[in-house]
Structure 1
Amino acid sequence: MPLRSLFAGLLAAAQVPEPLPPASGAAIEWRAPASCPDRGALLRAIETRLGRSLRPGELGVDGVVTVHATPPLYRLALRLRAGGPEERRTLTAATCAALTDATAVLVASAVAARAPGDPGVGQAPAVPGPAGARPRGKPSIVTPAGGHPAATPAGSEPGATPPGREPAGQPAGALATPAEAVEDITPSGPPAPDDPPAAAWEPAPPPVVPGTVEERALEPVEPLAPPAEPARRPALGGFVRVQGGPEYGALPGMTGAVGLAAGLLWRRARLEVQGVWLAPRTADRAQGQLRASLAAASVQGCARLGRGRVEAPVCGGLELGGMRGEARGVPDARTTTGLWLAVVAGAGVAVRLGARWSLTGALQLAGAIVGPDFQVRDPGPAVRLFAPAPVTGRLLVGVEVRLGDPR
């Protein structure tokens, strides 16, 4: 009867269901190429090896995977914190999946080493027995491949797992780590005289998967390339423009105007110098004919309105030039040039076609301050052959090349 009661107690203790693992609250930052396993795959691999879900604040992981042109192709810069000081490691592998799997093994081993009382990779579940019972004899000491002593129960083979017990959280046939291969048995009561000292019970170092991952603890992590700074635009630019179009009022009838402009550009303003030439036109009068043309230059300041590809300059300035008149069919006629001084104002639009090229259009009005008056005196009262209108207008279309535009 006592023996039957003992087996019934052991069976009842073995069948106690474990509570469901809580939701993971681990702080895991995982930055890797799109072809690599993502953060969720890494988290599932860690919890599978650990045998439970991670608790909030239990783990901190920061990993950056980079791809290199020469083998090994994948490199991981890993920062790991599991309840203690932060660890830094650099891992390399031929495939990204192998790198992720090795990271899961390292993280699970670190969590198990920091929490030896939790069921997981680092500890097999204890078998309950009678209160106060102690294994007969003293535990034998064995040394695993990692070089750290471990205890095994008396009468069993060194390094063997006790029958009927599998490491918690580890599926059958999975790769065993040094922490899983060692079982720590602490007898109850005072230690025997021949027990090893406490200093001999050291946790095994984190494993490295052989053949797939190479650990280089002393190799510095390559810093990430800093983001490229945006190109700085110059504070001052310049432009050259060729333009032309119809003109009315300065000469007899409608005529054509051609011109060249150049100047400086600021972010919100421009200063330009324009040269314009008006094609000759002839005025017919009863007293004779007058053929007139105009050549002038102006200095204008403009405000640069608008954003993006479209700009709307509004300009104003002074124009100075000379109007040449040649009389025909008039006795004693001579050719003369009269002074031309006018106020110029205009508004236009410039559409950017590329980095430097723009298509421009502008309407300019010129108000004459000083203008020539061509007359005939034969003797008697003077007869006017031609005089420019008080206000003239030009519609100019052109192509502009910009050099170092600050906008």
Structure 2
Amino acid sequence: MGFLKICVLRRNACTALCFWRNQIVEKPLVRKITTTSARSTVMPAWVIDKYGNNEVLRFTQNMMIPMIHYPNEVVIKVHAASINPIDVNMRSGYGATALNMKRDPLHIRIKGEEFPLTLGRDVSGVVMECGLDVKYFKPGDEVWAAVPPWKQGTLSEFVVVSGNEVSHKPKSLTHTQAASLPYVALTAWSAINKVGGLNDKNCRGKRVLILGASGGVGTFAIQVMKAWDAHVTAVCSQDASELVRKLGADDVIDYKSGNMEEQLKSFKPFDFILDNVGGSTETWALNFLKKWSGATYVTLVTPFLLNMDRLGIADGMLQTGVTVGSKTLKHFWQGVHYRWAFFMASGPYLDDIAELVDAGKIQPVIEKTFPFSKVPEAFLKVERGHARGKTVIKVV
């Protein structure tokens, strides 16, 4: 076992220990202050005080600076963030029932106590303070991370994240470039690697179909699948075809040029389908998988959070279980695997992704960059859809 593998094992063991300690600690441990100069107690941030349309976004210079409460946490000074579709949906209240349950498992909070709520999932910045148990980072380290949606977000001057959610930023990227990747990269990684079971050892020659290939998740998925030597067919509109070809797609299908099912009949069956679109695609996409060969369809469009918003926690979870169970069983008897995938925050996965980035296998795809003062405009852009990569916010 090489030195690198030993370090990874030590880091994973430390992460597990920190998680266990956080579950049993009754009082926050005294944080280790690692900055030498005094800071203000407030910071600028974009927040919402209620759910709604874009008018609920509010700029404040008096948001309390986040503090370390657990020994495995770090404070990051945000240099850049980005806007994802989930931020737009959360602004409107999507997933509030489930996310508030995660924020408050004992249900002791009063409704609305999540406000003021800071959105934004991606961060690239510099470590300012470290908790007592943080071993792999120190003040001054350049890092990147994707913050889980139940935590306060990154559209602010500082953000607190768990040490197991952070990774050293790829050396080849600026903060602006790095901020475009973590959330979409980890979402795609979850679907392809953790749920789909594909990796650099078993992917060579696999036929992959990516639906919705020109957005943030799609553009990352194309690149990682090509880095693992798969054959990639990308579905997007004609005006995005040049982009996805540059990223490595072997075949490109314009979904606006005619019936998708008819177009796909001329292609050989696929080993893996990643669906970023959802809706009616489920009714026909699985027909183009190889039967009885372990072929897998993974969708990132699930009704889990919507069910809980609509039906409540208990009934929503029950309905979700019935839906995924019935679909999984139905397609299993037809010779293919049907799966749902979700974003997973993970510093170790970002370590692997950073290696691919610095090796030149993954490049950020940024459609537009906004200054911190133009966050509402960035939300409107993402809300319009038809993304060609990511929308990034320069905070510093």
Shorter-chain TM-score: what band? under 0.3
Structure 1 length-normalised TM: 0.21
Q: Relative contact order, CA 8 A, sep 6+: which one is greater?
A: 2
Structure 2 length-normalised TM: 0.22
